[in-house]
C-alpha cells in the first residue's frame, strides 16, 4: 500500500527544484541598492475583465518617479494575464506602461520574471516574438534569481526572487484546470459584471503556505522575495510585493533603498498618485 504524500511536500519540493534552476546576479550592496519590486499587474485587453485598467494611472505615475530617482525595476511576474487574453491584444492595449518599463531596460535597470498567468514568457521563442519588439534585444525573463547582499566586502545574506506560484495549488498544481476556467468562465463573468475579486487587504497573519515558504527559506539560508498571493508583507526571511491590480486603484510594492526594505502603497488621491510606507525594516533584519 502506497502512502499518500503530505501536500506540504509538493510545495517544498517545487521550491527545491526552483532553487536549483535559479540564475545568479551580481551582488547587491546594501549601501547603494535602489530597487523597487512590483508584481501582478494582470494587464489585459482593455475590457471590463482587465484588472490593470483600475490601476494604470497610479502605476505609470509611480514608475516615472522611480525612473527619475535611479531605481532598478523588478517586475516579479503576472505582468500580463495571458490566461484571459492572447499576447497581441495585451501588448496593443498597454503600450504606455510597456514603453516606460522599456526605459528601465534600456538603461540596464530592469529585471523581469514570469509567473503562472504569464508563464508563456518562460519560453524564449515567445519572448523573442512578442516582447523583444517592445523592449528591445537582450531582454531576459527569469523564473528565479539569487542575489547576494553585501556591505562592502562583508556578506550579509542572500535574496531569492521568484513569482511564488511554484508548487502551490492555485498557481501550479491545478493550473491545467484553472486556466480554462479563468479564460472561459471567470473572464465572461467579468465582461458582464465588471466585478473584481482583488480587494486591498491589511495582512496581519501569514497563511499556511506563507509560513511553509518562510520556513523553507530559513532552512536554505535565504530570504524569499515573492508576489502571487496579492498579500503584501515584510517579514523575516519572507517578503511579498502584493499586487498592482487592486479594485480601488491602489498598488503595492517593495522598496529596497537606504539599507531598508519598505512595503509601500501608492494611491490615486485627487487625481495625484502618492505613496505611503505601510511597514519597514532594516534589510539586514529580514536577511537573518
pLDDT in tens, 24-57: 999 999 999 999 999 999 999 999 999 999 999 9
| H helices, E strands: number in the chain | 10, 13
pLDDT of residue 183: 84
- CATH number for the domain including 234? 3.60.21
- Does some domain include residue 40? yes
Q: Considering the domain boundaries, does residue 94 fall inside one?
A: yes
Using CA atoms of 164, 169, 173, 176 in order, give the dihedral in degrees to the nearest 10.
-100
Q: Contact at 8 Å (CB) between 143 and 162? A: yes
Residue 229 belongs to what domain range? Answer: 7-287
Size of the chain, expressed as the number of residues it contains: 288
Report the domain count for the chain: 1
144-164 mean pLDDT: 96
* C-beta separation of 104 from 72 below 8 A: yes
pTM: predicted TM-score of the whole model, two decimal places: 0.94
pLDDT tens digits, 209-228: 999 999 999 999 999 999 99
Domain assignment present for residue 42? The answer is: yes
Rounded (10°) angle between helices 56-68 and 95-106: 20
In a domain, 2, yes or no: no
Tell me, yes or no, whether 145 lies in a domain: yes
1 falls within a domain:
no
Phi-psi region of 224 (alpha: psi -120 to 50; beta: other; left: phi over 0): beta
User: Domain for residue 78, yes or no?
Assistant: yes
- What Cα–Cα distance (Å) separates residue 144 from each residue in 22, 140, 209, 253? 5, 12, 18, 18
Residue 2's pLDDT band, with cuts at 50, 70 and 90, is very low
**Distance between CA atoms of residues 280 and 260, nearest Å:** 7
Edge-to-edge strands, sheet with 144-151: 23-29, 144-151, 154-162, 223-226, 238-240, 233-235
Phi-psi region of 78 (alpha: psi -120 to 50; beta: other; left: phi over 0): left
Amino acid at each position: 500500500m502506497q502512502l499518500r504524500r503530505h501536500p506540504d511536500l509538493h510545495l517544498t519540493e517545487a521550491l527545491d527544484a526552483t532553487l536549483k534552476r535559479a540564475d545568479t546576479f551580481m551582488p547587491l550592496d546594501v549601501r547603494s541598492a535602489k530597487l523597487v519590486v512590483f508584481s501582478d499587474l494582470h494587464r489585459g485587453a482593455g475590457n471590463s475583465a482587465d484588472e490593470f485598467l483600475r490601476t494604470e494611472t497610479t502605476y505609470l505615475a509611480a514608475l516615472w518617479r522611480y525612473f527619475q530617482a535611479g531605481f532598478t525595476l523588478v517586475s516579479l511576474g503576472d505582468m500580463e494575464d495571458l490566461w484571459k487574453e492572447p499576447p497581441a491584444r495585451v501588448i496593443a492595449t498597454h503600450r504606455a506602461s510597456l514603453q516606460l518599463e522599456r526605459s528601465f531596460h534600456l538603461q540596464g535597470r530592469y529585471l523581469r520574471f514570469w509567473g503562472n498567468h504569464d508563464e508563456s514568457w518562460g519560453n524564449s521563442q515567445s519572448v523573442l516574438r512578442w516582447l523583444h519588439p517592445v523592449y528591445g534585444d537582450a531582454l531576459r525573463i527569469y523564473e528565479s534569481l539569487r542575489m547576494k547582499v553585501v556591505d562592502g566586502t562583508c556578506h550579509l545574506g542572500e535574496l531569492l526572487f521568484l513569482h511564488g506560484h511554484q508548487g502551490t495549488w492555485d498557481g501550479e498544481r491545478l493550473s491545467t484546470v484553472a486556466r480554462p476556467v479563468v479564460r472561459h468562465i471567470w473572464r465572461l463573468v467579468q465582461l458582464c459584471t465588471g466585478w473584481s475579486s482583488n480587494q486591498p487587504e491589511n495582512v496581519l497573519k501569514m497563511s499556511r503556505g506563507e509560513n511553509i515558504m518562510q520556513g523553507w527559506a530559513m532552512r536554505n539560508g535565504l530570504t524569499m522575495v515573492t508576489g502571487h498571493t496579492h498579500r503584501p508583507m515584510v517579514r523575516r526571511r519572507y517578503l511579498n510585493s502584493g499586487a498592482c491590480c487592486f479594485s480601488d486603484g491602489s498598488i503595492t510594492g517593495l522598496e529596497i533603498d537606504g539599507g531598508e526594505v519598505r512595503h509601500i502603497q501608492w494611491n490615486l488621491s485627487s487625481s495625484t498618485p502618492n505613496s505611503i510606507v505601510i511597514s519597514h525594516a532594516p534589510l539586514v533584519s529580514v536577511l537573518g
